[in-house]
């Protein structure tokens, strides 16, 4: 085998791998630049959408702040004490309208002994749902009057009976002992 002489002043370098690597790096750089450009455009579009949403949210916040200020001004003009008094008055009116005389009279009939007669009943609606009931009547004997008090204590719908007055027979009423008692009445039962 004969060798061919090298006529070059210096040996011939093989630049193909270097050119191939440079080409691949150029293609990779171009692909990455394209990807970065597309990503940047997409991010810019998202940023514009977020800026539009931010403008919309600021407008809504201003509108809500205006409505809150308007509501605050209207609430500041309200006369709270007068409104509270009107509400309490309305609440007691509703409670009085919901009061069932038939239930109270039925419960009283169950509690009153046979030898006691009522001459007056005065119910007053309380805030806690109970009624303060004033009872005036005549008992044939003092024992019958005390029996009424005991029954009021024992019944589940009545509580706290307090004698207000008692007048023995003969001084003002020849028929028997006149009395007055105040008790609490719970239409739904004692709490």
Summarised one tens digit per residue, pLDDT across range 68-84 is 999 888 888 877 787 77
- Domain ranges in the chain are 19-77, 100-185
Residue 69 vs residues 58, 124, 152: alpha-carbon distances, Å: 16, 43, 56
Residue 176, burial from CB neighbour count under 10 angstroms (0-12, 13-18, 19+): buried
Look up the CATH architecture of domain 100-185.
Answer: 2-Layer Sandwich (3.30)
Residue 159 vs residues 134, 171, 183: alpha-carbon distances, Å: 12, 30, 6
Q: In terms of pTM, does the model score above 0.95?
A: no
In degrees and rounded to multiples of 5, residue 160 shows phi and psi of 50, 50
pLDDT along the chain (191 residues), means of 10: 67 80 92 92 88 91 92 82 72 60 84 90 80 91 89 89 85 76 83 60
């Amino acid at each position: 085998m004969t060798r061919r002489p090298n006529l070059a002043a210096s040996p011939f370098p093989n630049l193909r791998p270097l050119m191939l690597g440079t080409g691949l790096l150029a293609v990779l750089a171009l692909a990455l630049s394209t990807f970065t450009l597309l990503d940047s455009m997409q991010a810019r579009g998202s940023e514009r959408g977020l800026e539009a949403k931010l403008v919309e949210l600021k407008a809504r916040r201003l509108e809500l702040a205006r409505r809150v200020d308007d509501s605050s001004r209207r609430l500041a003009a309200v006369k709270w004490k007068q409104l509270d008094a009107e509400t309490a008055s309305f609440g007691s009116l509703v409670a009085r309208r919901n009061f069932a005389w038939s239930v109270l009279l039925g419960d009283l009939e169950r509690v009153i002994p046979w030898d006691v007669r009522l001459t007056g009943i005065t119910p007053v609606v309380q805030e806690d749902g109970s009624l303060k009931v004033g009872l005036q009547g005549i008992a044939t004997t003092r024992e019958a009057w005390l029996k009424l008090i005991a029954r009021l204590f024992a019944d589940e719908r009545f509580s706290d009976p307090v004698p207000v007055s008692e007048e023995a027979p003969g001084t003002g009423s020849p028929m028997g002992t006149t009395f007055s008692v105040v008790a609490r009445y719970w239409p739904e039962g004692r709490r």
